[in-house]
Amino acid sequence: MTHSEFDLHASDGLQLYAQAWQPDGDPRGVICLVHGLGEHSGRYAHLAAALGQAGYALLAFDLRGHGKSQGRRGHTPSYDALMDDIATFLAEIEKRYPDIPCFLYGHSLGGNLVLNYALRRRPELTGVVATAPSLKLAFEPPAIQVALGRGMDKIWPAFVQSNGLETQALSRDPEVVRKYQSDPLVHNRISARLFVGFFEAGQWALDHASQFHLPLLLMQGSADRITSHEASCEFAASVGDAATLKIWEDFYHEIHNEPEQAQVFDTLITWLDEHVARS
């Protein structure tokens, strides 16, 4: 496997950091990954290694305001700007890997983004994978907090505060939590604009799930205390036969970082293989 780094230039001129993991030989398919809130693409190198052994390339970019990408930490000027960044990312991958089965993969906030991207932009892809997508939070946020966020979005959209993430709820593996907490590229910031954007987009995606037009693999842990696995079940039910739903019993938020991650990777690769064979 070979690893390389490159930059993307967003439609508004912002520079976005990206990286690619290429298997030995021609890839069977390419996975385009969108990470979660506060983290970065480098946390998925172990997923890239598992996919590489199965013959898949993984490409990922750091969201604006995250990781090694430019932008105010935890902020976006609009939800559409994030949609445009994914479009820029996919256009670059199409140039690099023409005529190869292509899958869009998102975790948590990234899951919210890829489901909305598929619904709003109607891309031609082989399939979509979403893990623990932030369609709804696993807890009901206080109404006053939501109202305050919407108010700040109107008068000071770049206002940033802590995202309040419960890091102990990421994984049952304490080493994963320790590495997350000590990772210099991880941050805990979120702006009013980003919060309102993904909060409202999650409900929009649930309301429009029946219009989802691509094969979908949706996976989540039943013990996720960060995003709602009930919302994932609701979304998959609305999509219907095109959706494959897997709820991992007692798993936490980052199913790809649980002690049983090899089982998650096997399930993912089996699904990818089936859809590459059909393409």
* pLDDT tens readout for residues 29-46: 999 999 999 999 999 999
Separation of alpha carbons 258 and 34, rounded Å: 19
Q: Could you tell me if 86 and 113 are in contact, meaning their C-beta atoms sit under 8 angstroms apart?
A: yes
SS3 197: helix
For the chain, how many structural domains are there in total?
Answer: 1
Residue 136 is part of which domain span? 2-278
Give the pLDDT score at 279.
85
At 148, which helix (H) or strand (E)? helix 143-155
SS3 205: helix
Per-residue DSSP letter, 227:
B
Buried/exposed code over 88-108 (b: 16+ C-beta within 10 A; e: otherwise): bbbebbbeebeebbbbbbbbb
pLDDT digits (tens, 9 = 90+) for 152-168: 778 888 888 888 899 99
Question: Which CATH number belongs to the domain containing residue 54 in this structure?
Answer: 3.40.50.1820
Band (274; pLDDT cuts 50, 70, 90): very high
pTM of the model: 0.96
